[in-house]
Amino acid sequence: MTDTLYVSDLDGTLLGADSLVSARSRELLGQAISAGARFSLATARTPATVAGLLRGIDTPLPLVVMTGATLWDKRTGQYSHTRYIPESEARKVVDIYRRSGFSSFVYTLSEGMIHIYHVGSMSPQESAFMQERLHSPFKCFHIPADGESELPERLDKVVLFYGMRPDALAVPVHEEVARSVDCSPLCYHDIYGPEIAVAEVFARESTKANGVRQLAREAGAKRIVAFGDNINDLPMLRAADVAVAVANAVDEVKQVADIVIGPNTADAVPEFILSDLRRRN
């Protein structure tokens, strides 16, 4: 087995234009894992969607999910190394959101289940996001029709705030959170287009980089090769021994990358893993 840990982001990196793992990528990943590649993911997604996307792909190692807030073992369904936002800081975020008229999902993790609440009125993007996930066995929504949940009495199990709003609202709120709260906030554009920003808040140590480092220690890997395309991949890429950007990555990612490969639509990640594995063996 190789001493390298290969870790890939999902959206825009391993997934194609249809937000799925292509048949060829599945085949190549299967070959690489069978040949001894230590492969995992570091994604902003939760197990609710990751499990389906990886169906049929054997991944013995835990996965870094929710941008490093926790590790999740696909084989056992168990979470580990969860990083919770301190309750006092979570309450500050809620206060800022309510005062600013900003809406956000509030993700908590308790007893192996993700419970999701909501602050503020539901945006169209948030409503569509929720409808796609209502029947997942991995998460439970506690959100009424008007979108404003009654939050848990204690906010000591919050792992993530996740909102999708226009730039004009999201950016100032993100900046206030960054100034006022001891946390790790992110604000970036994703699949919703350039006019809608994704605003996330995690615990201070919740990053893909820290999740990948933990995974590497547990796997006994001496070398990390990481693949990414977007702003939330930067900490992971900076922590890697080899940082790989796909051709469709944002400029900030390409600037820190050691190597730029083909686009996410060309099965570039598994092709690189197989090539690197064969070269090192």
Q: Helix, strand or coil for residue 161? A: strand
Contacting residues for 144 by C-beta, under 8 A, at least 6 apart: none
Question: Residue 21 above 90 pLDDT?
Answer: yes
Q: Determine the average pLDDT of the residues in 154-161.
A: 96
Contacting residues for 26 by C-beta, under 8 A, at least 6 apart: 56, 57
User: What's the predicted TM-score (pTM) here?
Assistant: 0.89
Q: How does residue 123 score in pLDDT terms, banded at 50, 70 and 90?
A: confident
- Out of 62-76, 190-204, 213-227, 235-249, which region has the weakest mean confidence (pLDDT)? 190-204
Q: Determine the average pLDDT of the residues in 75-84.
A: 94
What integer pLDDT is reported at residue 280 of this predicted model?
86
Q: Which two tokens stand for residue 34?
A: 């069978």
What integer pLDDT is reported at residue 193 of this predicted model?
67
Q: How does residue 72 score in pLDDT terms, banded at 50, 70 and 90?
A: very high
Question: Residue 250 above 80 pLDDT?
Answer: yes
Question: Residue 202 above 70 pLDDT?
Answer: yes
Q: How does residue 192 score in pLDDT terms, banded at 50, 70 and 90?
A: low
| DSSP state letter for 14 | I
Question: Residue 145 above 90 pLDDT?
Answer: no
User: CA–CA separation, 114 vs 130, rounded Å?
Assistant: 13
Q: Determine the average pLDDT of the residues in 235-252.
A: 96
Alpha helices in the chain (DSSP H): 23-34, 47-53, 87-100, 124-131, 167-180, 208-219, 234-239, 251-256, 268-280
Mean of the per-residue pLDDT values for the chain? Answer: 93
What integer pLDDT is reported at residue 191 of this predicted model?
62
147-151's contacts with Cβ under 8 Å and 24+ in sequence apart are 147/103, 147/118, 147/120, 147/121, 147/122, 148/118, 148/119, 148/120, 148/121, 149/106, 149/117, 149/118, 149/119, 150/117, 151/94, 151/106, 151/117, 151/119
Backbone angles phi, psi at 211, to 5 degrees: -65, -40
Backbone angles phi, psi at 74, to 5 degrees: -65, -30
